[in-house]
Amino acid sequence: MDVSIVIVSFSTNRLLDECIASIKRETTCSHEIIVVDNASSDDSCRMLREKYPDVILIENTENAGFARANNQGFAVARGRYFFMLNSDTVILDGAIDRLFDFMEKNPDIGICGPRNIGRDGKMQYNCDHFPSVWNSFCYFVRLGDIFPRSRFFNPNQMRYWNYAEIRDVDRMVGCSLLIRSGLYKNLHGLDENFFMYFEETDFCYRAKKSGARITYYPHAVILHYGGESSKVAENEPVISNTVASYFHRSLYYYYLKNHNLFSRIAFRLLNLTFGLFLLLHSSVSGNGEKRNMALCYGKVLIRMALVRQQKKCKEHFDHDFPAKNNSNISNTGKAV
């Protein structure tokens, strides 16, 4: 078996169907498809049973999160390579085959990712440096707008670079990553203390520390719709206090795990300062959606900076997004 493809799905029936159809249409290397369903409220599981009986389906009775669900899928995988794929993606022009061939020719590369494009056909910035206080400062004060071609002042998402050539990077977005199975196993998979956000960043960080290369390969292209599992209703993206809070909880956990005390304190102070700035600015600016978003985000930054960081993020998510069914879940869920 060449490639084991694991797709974590949460109520993305239509997109999951489109994703799997594209895999079957565009992939010739030997592969298996494993779908881990995180207690979807739609007909995703029924669709898979009826339309794709060859797909390995693991049904969870609660939302196990992105990290744990991927680990469940890869625990039963047989491929020499593990492909982490979001359900809101479409494989274009043999992208998986291209990534596989590239990795076969470059045995020193541990993780490889494609060029991602959005539904509008525009390139998505899916590479980045590891999180740092300086990178956050540049983002908050928008130094990248002033120095767009500067690596020093515009580090976020590596926007100073045109994404045109093969390049080693620190990390890539986890919506589409090809990973050597041996590397994944040696690093014990994703850290399940992350429920959602930054689990792939932490994995890339550990992979780099182990000596593995992480490489962007632009000659493989994948369509990534983005954000489809984080919707509260049809066509309603969740850009909310809750999701922003969870994003920052995961980021704080990443700092707790991978940064020293000085960096963690500096990061808290930076977030607290910018949060206060947003509150003050929104209090004197006019009404409107932008003002409300700034107010919401400012409150999130202040609250996260003042709350003692938990070693795990899962408990917070259970409170913010209670599962339909909170029954216990086994290590492998329910395989169908």
Is the predicted pLDDT of residue 59 greater than 70, yes or no?
A: yes
pLDDT tens string 140-194: 999 999 999 999 999 999 999 999 999 999 999 999 999 999 999 999 999 999 9
pLDDT of residue 131: 97
Mean per-residue pLDDT of the chain: 89
pLDDT tens string 95-106: 999 999 999 999
Q: What is the mean pLDDT of residues 119-123?
A: 93
pTM assigned to the model: 0.88
CA 334 to chain centre: 24
Of the candidates 83, 7, 60, 66, the residue with the CA atom closest to the CA atom of residue 250: 66
The DSSP-derived string for 52-91 is -TTSEEEEESS---HHHHHHHHHHT---SEEEEEETTEEE
pLDDT tens string 261-308: 999 999 999 999 999 999 998 887 767 778 888 888 899 999 999 987
pLDDT tens string 26-50: 999 999 999 999 999 999 999 999 9
Cβ-based neighbours of 309, under 8 Å, separated by 6 or more: 249, 252, 253, 255, 256
pLDDT tens string 253-274: 999 999 999 999 999 999 999 9
pLDDT of residue 144: 94
| Sign of the torsion angle spanned by Cα atoms 50, 52, 56, 62 | negative
Q: What is the mean pLDDT of residues 116-128?
A: 95
pLDDT of residue 27: 98
More confident residue, 246 or 18: 18
Q: CA-based Rg of the chain, rounded to a whole angstrom?
A: 20
- Domains of the chain listed by start with CATH number: 3-125+163-231 (3.90.550.10), 239-320 (no CATH)
Of the candidates 154, 166, 8, the residue with the CA atom closest to the CA atom of residue 87: 8
pLDDT of residue 334: 47
